[in-house]
Amino acid sequence: MPELPDVEVYREVLARRLVGKAITRLRVRTPFVLRTFDPPISALAGKKVTGVRRLGKRIVFVLEDDLFLVVHLMVAGRFKWNDKPDAGIPGKLGIAAFDFTGATVILTEASMKKRASIHLVRGEDALVALAAKGLEPLQIDRATFAAVLARENHTIKRTLTDPRMFSGIGNAYSDEILHRAKVSPVKWTSRLDEQEIDRLYQATRTVLPEWTERLRKEAGDGFPEKVTAFRSEMAVHGKYGQPCPVCGSKVQRIVHAENETNYCAVCQTEGKLLADRALSRLLRDDWPRSLDDLEDFKDARMLRQPSEARLTEAAKVAKQSLANEKLPSEAASERLQSGYGSVAPSTVTKTKTTGTRTKKTKNV
């Protein structure tokens, strides 16, 4: 799912292209994507974009009149750029379109679970209330970083990815940070020593900017097309069975819920293989059902208790959107979907675990 580096690059490109332009309307294909009804989306019409911000993993279009249009991409949500105004929403993947003067930003989501969300709120207070209270990992000093780690006792993997603790770090970059810091993903935060905290702090401050810079270069003057959590330059994330770039031994994994954690046993766990049932269980139990449940618990709670007014309004908006919408041309639809090819799979194949043995690798 898009994490801090991906979202930051989206933010920069969107800001470059949209600040100063006016939004003409928002179209949504499915009612649930829009999670607010007050202010109504008709309030957007003609408002200029004065800035684009990142709020954790969310993108915020800052508009005139104290309006904030907040988009959370969750796992499979992506932005697509179309130079044409009022471009059609592509059939299979498109869930919403943001119409600006002279261009359209399409929101797609390639997942059966539609979890991406749009909120329209008025005022900074309402904006702040939307986000989990995690701290920006690149804007805190070492003492604050250590204090966050000490706040609750969890596995470090869970703490790094918990949006109540840190903002913008998910499954992919936590694997990379832990590998850089040479810390085991299942180490309890209460057991981290000062050197490990130092290394984690430094790794966080180098891995995230490094990746932001890499993705920025890759996007260049274009729009980010290949937004994926699986990249060949990653050290361990998504690299199960491949050689660790530091020591050459095979990258290991722990499968839990819909995710897997990748690590190098030699670099991070003194050669101990953690891919056994007990540790899968440990990670799973230290987690809500999946990483995303941490991320969107607010949205989920809102959906479980739908207010009549919100549903009625959402359904009305969706119906109106569809009625207004032009049919997408075949070509436009194809182009939009072809740019989508490399999006990460939303689930990882589960593997059988091999009992609770703890093995030493040969390299140790």
Binds Zn ion (CB under 5 A): choice among 107, 264, 275, 332 = 264
Interhelix angle 142-151/194-219, nearest 10 degrees = 110
Long-range CB contacts (within 8 A, 24+) of 79-83:
79/10, 79/14, 79/105, 79/106, 79/107, 79/108, 79/223, 79/224, 80/105, 80/106, 80/107, 80/108, 80/223, 80/336, 80/339, 80/340, 81/17, 81/105, 81/106, 81/223, 82/106, 82/332, 82/336
Rounded least distance, CB 181 to Zn ion, Å: 12
Rounded least distance, CB 352 to Zn ion, Å: 24
Asked if 265 touches Zn ion (CB under 5 A), the answer is: no
Rounded least distance, CB 180 to Zn ion, Å: 11
Rounded least distance, CB 275 to Zn ion, Å: 15
Q: Which residue number, 123 or 248, has a Cβ lying nearer to Zn ion?
A: 248
CA dist., res. 298 & res. 133, Å (int): 12
Binding to Zn ion in span 128-167, by CB under 5 A = none
Are residues 268 and 253 in contact, defined by beta-carbon separation less than 8 angstroms? no
Residue 315 Ramachandran class (φ > 0 left, ψ -120 to 50 alpha, else beta):
alpha
Site string for Zn ion, 39-78 (x = CB under 5 A): ----------------------------------------
Count of residues touching Zn ion (by CB under 5 A): 6
Binds Zn ion (CB under 5 A): choice among 49, 186, 200, 267 = 267
Long-range CB contacts (within 8 A, 24+) of 238-247:
238/172, 238/262, 238/344, 244/179, 246/179, 247/363
Q: Which residue number, 42 or 363, has a Cβ lying nearer to Zn ion?
A: 363
Binding to Zn ion in span 235-254, by CB under 5 A = 244, 246-247
Rounded least distance, CB 186 to Zn ion, Å: 17
Between the alpha carbon of residue 99 and those of residues 86, 224, 364, the distances in Å are: 6, 19, 58
Stretch that binds Zn ion, among 86-94, 113-121, 222-230, 263-271 (CB under 5 A): 263-271
Asked if 266 touches Zn ion (CB under 5 A), the answer is: yes
Are residues 106 and 22 in contact, defined by beta-carbon separation less than 8 angstroms? no
Rounded least distance, CB 268 to Zn ion, Å: 7
Rounded least distance, CB 247 to Zn ion, Å: 3
Q: Which residue number, 200 or 343, has a Cβ lying nearer to Zn ion?
A: 200
Q: Which residue number, 62 or 266, has a Cβ lying nearer to Zn ion?
A: 266
110 beta partners: none
Asked if 364 touches Zn ion (CB under 5 A), the answer is: no
User: How many other CB atoms sit within 10 Å of the CB of residue 218?
Assistant: 13
Q: Which residue is nearest to Zn ion (CB)?
A: 244
Q: Which residue number, 150 or 247, has a Cβ lying nearer to Zn ion?
A: 247
Stretch that binds Zn ion, among 92-100, 160-168, 260-268, 333-341 (CB under 5 A): 260-268
Q: Which residue number, 85 or 243, has a Cβ lying nearer to Zn ion?
A: 243
Binding residues for Zn ion (CB under 5 A): 244, 246-247, 264, 266-267
